[in-house]
Structure 1
Amino acid sequence: MMATAESCTGGLIAAACTSLAGSSQWFERGMVSYSNLAKTELLDVPAELIAQHGAVSEPVARAMALGACARSGAQVALAVTGVAGPGGGSVEKPVGLVWFGWQLGNLGVAEMRVFPGDRAAIRAATVRHALQGLLVRLQPLRPAH
């Protein structure tokens, strides 16, 4: 089963998953943790971690994915946290910067990307990259036929 923890995409990844017929067989739940408080309450992301690294960071993306698995009982989770714009960017964290976290059982992986475009383009690219990244990481786990 799969769970999502989304910030900058606001549920778009869960919507993409559940738009597929039969998704109830593998999609457990999606959590929109848009605020820092939601990240701590819904996903057990330590407030100190957010204070130290910022919500848009590798440690927070990893913690979100781990928390999504722990809170849902899903075996696989993906998390996204980023700056979709048009405001909110900085020199260190420009508009378009997104951190991804994938949790597959005991294995946690994180990755950062910077996407060009407006808010809609950044969010769409984030959805694509999150799901493609999950599929790539699931390939080695699939049994051979």
Structure 2
Amino acid sequence: MKKIVFAALMFVGISTLHAQVKNPVQWQFEAKKKGADYEIVLTATVDKPWHIYSQNTGKNGPVPTTFSFKKNPLITISGKVIETGKLEKVYDKNFSTDVLFYSNKVVFTQLVKVKAGVKTNVSGTVEYMVCDDEQCLPPTKKTFDIKLL
């Protein structure tokens, strides 16, 4: 009887480990002072063999990376989020369209203007999707809160 209980517990333990959520993207959020303004730097480091999609990937394709910033009367978002990295473009038969993505690392930057002489934060959410050659993970949302000193 003890052997059966032990085997059942081992099976449950192994199943639990196997069912753990994959998280192949690590995010780093920081602000760099640029004169009176700040450059918000959102860096995604992607484990191999995964890739993360561009903000501008093909229509009807995977979920593009998007950023939403919480309203803050002390700051003004200036322009669009710029992405920097080795952009790859391939036709994806699963989505029946060309897709744009980054492997390894991509840096997203957003210029923020801050009212003079104030300390505040910029916060928001990034939504992204990652795939490898065999599977895609569901879209993921990650929140961020960056101090502007």
- TM-score by length of structure 1 reads 0.29
Higher normalized strand content (fraction of residues) = 2
Structure with a larger share of its residues in helix: 1
Considering only CA atoms, is the larger Rg found in Structure 1 or Structure 2? Answer: 2
Highest RCO, 1 vs 2 (Cα 8 Å, sep ≥ 6): 2
